[in-house]
């Protein structure tokens, strides 16, 4: 819970992370990507265009929430984030069209932890969210 006093109507911060387990996310980045294909006519001019394979690259940075437990999730595991909705926004499906598959989740593709003698242990997770892929039962990461 932030102790900041906000003097604006702009969105400030992530949703409350008081129930954090694994990684206490301080920064969350969602980058939408897609692939495109064109259909040329007989002289090479594009007359058709398709956008497909919509997905998001997700990066989370923060501190390890519980001493000695490390990060929840291994490469290939699936997670869902409690703080992806703020001010009625759903960050995972923003910019996309269509309805997500049941069980769509972030699939962890990498991670990193580090510590210092004078600071908290920090960590980061990277993953891919493909809204049309049913990824099974995700672990909830807050």
pLDDT tens-place string over residues 84-107: 666 667 788 888 888 888 888 888
Give the pLDDT score at 25: 79
In the chain, the number of structural domains is 1
Give the range of the structural domain holding residue 130, as residue numbers without chain letter.
23-141
Give the pLDDT score at 121: 83
Give the confidence band of 1 by pLDDT, cuts at 50, 70, 90.
very low
Residue 55 is assigned to a structural domain of this protein: yes
Residue 48 is assigned to a structural domain of this protein: yes
Pair 65, 113: CB distance under 8 Å? no
Residue 1 is assigned to a structural domain of this protein: no
Residue 8 is assigned to a structural domain of this protein: no
Residue 5 is assigned to a structural domain of this protein: no
Q: Report, as an integer, the average pLDDT of 125-130.
A: 91
pLDDT tens-place string over residues 26-51: 888 899 999 999 999 999 999 999 98
Q: How many residues does the chain have?
A: 142
Handedness of CA 28, 4, 113, 19 (dihedral sign): negative
Q: Report, as an integer, the average pLDDT of 121-136.
A: 86
Residue 42 is assigned to a structural domain of this protein: yes
- pTM of structure: 0.73
**3-class secondary structure for the chain?**
CCCCCCCCCCCCCCCCCCCCCCEEEEEEEEEEEEEEEEEECCCCCEEEEEEEEEEEEEEEEEEECCCCCCCCCCCCCEEEEHHHEECCEECCCCCCCCCCCCCCCEEEEEEEEECCCCCCCEEEEEEEECCCCCCCCCEEEC
Residue 4 is assigned to a structural domain of this protein: no
Give the pLDDT score at 44: 93
Pair 71, 22: CB distance under 8 Å? yes
Residue 18 is assigned to a structural domain of this protein: no
C-alpha to C-alpha distance for 30 and 84, rounded to whole angstroms: 10
């Amino acid at each position: 819970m932030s102790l900041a006093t906000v003097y604006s109507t702009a969105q400030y911060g992530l949703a409350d992370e008081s129930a954090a387990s694994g990684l206490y996310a301080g920064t969350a980045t969602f980058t939408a990507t897609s692939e495109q294909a064109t259909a040329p006519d007989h002289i090479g001019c594009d007359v058709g265009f398709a956008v497909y394979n919509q997905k998001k690259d997700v990066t989370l940075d923060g501190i390890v929430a519980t001493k000695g437990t490390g990060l929840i999730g291994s490469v290939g595991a699936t997670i869902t984030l409690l703080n992806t909705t703020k001010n009625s926004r759903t960050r995972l499906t923003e910019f996309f069209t269509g309805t997500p598959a049941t069980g769509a989740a972030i699939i962890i593709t990498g991670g990193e932890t580090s510590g210092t003698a004078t600071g908290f242990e920090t960590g980061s997770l990277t993953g891919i969210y493909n809204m049309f892929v049913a990824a099974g039962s995700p672990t909830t990461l807050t």
